[in-house]
Structure 1
């Protein structure tokens, strides 16, 4: 009986970790979609043609995800215009952000200061 209890506890722990990881991946997708909604200039139509909910965000052009957690580790957002969504600050695994040759306006959100 002791082995069954330990097995059950490990199963519950695994399911909890899976649910938390899924929630965080959903938060990454949400942040990216909010960012997309704030873009007013996308001359190469990358966001319109490629960033959609029917495809994993890890396969979107300009997105690099980690292999272990499937979380956003890199963003290449060059050659766009609009505002930077504060939700980008929620991408806790983000390590690389390329925003060269952009036409952004407004303020840099305070939330981006939380990124490592």
Structure 2
């Protein structure tokens, strides 16, 4: 667990450093989604390696739709992708998220309380996972 967290921090630092060099900002949404990526321990189709790159706009990542005016994530559909992992508290920073579909994967542990900040969320599908605890209100 410590190794994974250290790897995440090192990667985050490198991303921020390379971002500063290329005059590109890493958005709040991108950081939240990279945090999700680093918590996914198994993804047999390997789309995360190819399409979830800091060099590419999150609006072009597989599974995402953005609000064009704000360039913020509006919907996230990762259903039926055989993902195994957990959702971290940074996920609560996706403040423009309206639709979230994570069904038919193997996400586990509690959903973070920070998800309660997703005030625009209207559509939520989490079935066929291994979450424990309650969905934050």
TM range (shorter): 0.7 to 0.9
SS in 2 for 1:64: strand
Task: Show the counterpart of 1:108.
Answer: 111
How many residues of Structure 1 are paired with residues of Structure 2 in the alignment? Answer: 94
Candidates 89, 92, 101, aligned match of 1:89: 92
Q: Distance in 2 between matches of 1:85 and 1:46?
A: 20
Structure 1 residues without counterparts, runs of 5 or longer:
1-21
Task: Show the counterpart of 2:133.
Answer: none
Task: Tell me the alpha carbon deviations over residues 15-74 of structure 1, each in whole angstroms, 9 at most, x when there is no partner.
Answer: xxxxxxx97x71111000011000012121121111001111110000110111110001
Q: Distance in 1 between matches of 2:108 and 2:86?
A: 6
Structure 2 residues without counterparts, runs of 5 or longer:
1-23, 120-137
Runs of 4+ in 1 over 4 A off after TM superposition: none
Q: Distance in 2 between matches of 1:77 and 1:41?
A: 13
Q: Distance in 2 between matches of 1:102 and 1:41?
A: 10
- Greater helix fraction, Structure 1 or Structure 2: 1
Q: Distance in 2 between matches of 1:54 and 1:89?
A: 23
Say if 2:88 is the partner of 1:52.
no
Question: RMSD between aligned alpha carbons?
Answer: 1.6
Q: Distance in 2 between matches of 1:48 and 1:113?
A: 29
Q: Which has the larger radius of gyration?
A: 1
- Greater strand fraction, Structure 1 or Structure 2: 2
Task: Tell me the alpha carbon deviations over residues 73-114 of structure 1, each in whole angstroms, 9 at most, x when there is no partner.
Answer: 011122211011111111000000000101011111001122
Task: Show the counterpart of 1:18.
Answer: none
SS in 2 for 1:105: strand
